[in-house]
Amino acid sequence: MKQNFLKYLKDKALVKAEHLPKLMEMVSGREIKKGAYLLSKGQICQHAFFVEKGLLRFFSIDTEGKEHIVQFAPENWFVIDRGSAYFNQPSLFYIDAIEDTTVVQLDQLFIKKASEISHEFRNYNEYLLQNHIRHLQNRINLLIGASAKERYIDFINLYTDLTLRVPQWMIASYLGITPESLSRVRKELAKSSFDIT
């Protein structure tokens, strides 16, 4: 259940082999059925979730009931409500499963202990945080200044295998456009022989 996470610690975070057993003892696996929630608005986010298999989404719902997707999390991605987890604030967001999903749950104690045990993990965790901020800044810039076409191309580059796994209305929600606008963009790109799958 935790094989991808173990590989992630070895290959990405470069955690030394002697530290891996101790770290793996500190995390737990969980299976989530399609449509089930890991986090709902008003709850305190207790964990970061690493996706072993499946697909999650991180989103909010506005006062008119419209969903706004902030992030997708396919295999080998993390998702967390940092504002809730780090500042102990009720979440404004939801995390649910788009597919049947297996996750590894990491709590704050794991992050603290792992950083003490492995300086490689500590360094990589810092890199992940900075990379997350970089992606958020890019996403904000796209939402306020880029065309629907530019946003969709960025989506394809970031989430290379999701166009066939995610309903079109969810992709439109992530892009901040209507499904009709997304359909027009896809048709335009298809005519120019751009690979949209």
Identify whether 40 is part of a domain. Answer: yes
At residue 175, the pLDDT reads 97
pLDDT tier at 194 (50, 70, 90 boundaries)? Answer: low
At residue 108, the pLDDT reads 87
pLDDT tier at 192 (50, 70, 90 boundaries)? Answer: confident
Say yes or no to pLDDT of 19 above 80: yes
Q: How many structural domains is the chain composed of?
A: 1
At residue 191, the pLDDT reads 86
Cα→Cα distances 38→69, 83, 137, Å:
15, 16, 25
Indicate the average pLDDT of the chain: 93
Query: pTM (2 decimals)?
Result: 0.91
CATH code, 101: 2.60.120.10
Say yes or no to pLDDT of 197 above 80: no
pLDDT tier at 195 (50, 70, 90 boundaries)? Answer: low
Q: Summarize pLDDT for 126-178 with one digit per residue, the tens.
A: 999 999 999 999 999 999 999 999 999 999 999 989 999 999 999 999 999 99
Q: Summarize pLDDT for 90-136 with one digit per residue, the tens.
A: 999 999 999 999 999 999 889 998 999 999 999 999 999 999 999 99
Say yes or no to pLDDT of 78 above 80: yes
Say yes or no to pLDDT of 69 above 90: yes
Identify whether 140 is part of a domain. Answer: no
Pairing of strands 67-73, 101-106: unpaired
Identify whether 169 is part of a domain. Answer: no
**Cα radius of gyration rounded to whole Å, the chain:** 18
Say yes or no to pLDDT of 35 above 80: yes
Identify whether 148 is part of a domain. Answer: no
The candidate with the shortest Cα–Cα distance to 54, out of 5, 101, 104, is 101
Helix (H) / strand (E) element for 56: namely: strand 56-61
Cα→Cα distances 116→27, 49, 112, 122, Å:
16, 20, 6, 8
Cβ-contact 60, 94 below 8 angstroms: yes
Identify whether 28 is part of a domain. Answer: yes
Residue spans of alpha helices (H) in the chain: 3-11, 20-25, 82-87, 108-117, 119-145, 148-158, 168-175, 179-191
Identify whether 75 is part of a domain. Answer: yes
Residues of the chain above pLDDT 90, percent: 87
At residue 196, the pLDDT reads 59
Identify whether 166 is part of a domain. Answer: no
Give the DSSP per-residue string, 92-144: S-EEEESS-EEEEEE-HHHHHHHHHH-HHHHHHHHHHHHHHHHHHHHHHHHHH
3-class DSSP state for residue 61?
Answer: strand
Identify whether 56 is part of a domain. Answer: yes
Q: In terms of residue numbers, what domain contains 39? A: 3-117
CA-CA-CA-CA torsion sign (178, 181, 187, 189): negative
Residues of the chain above pLDDT 70, percent: 97
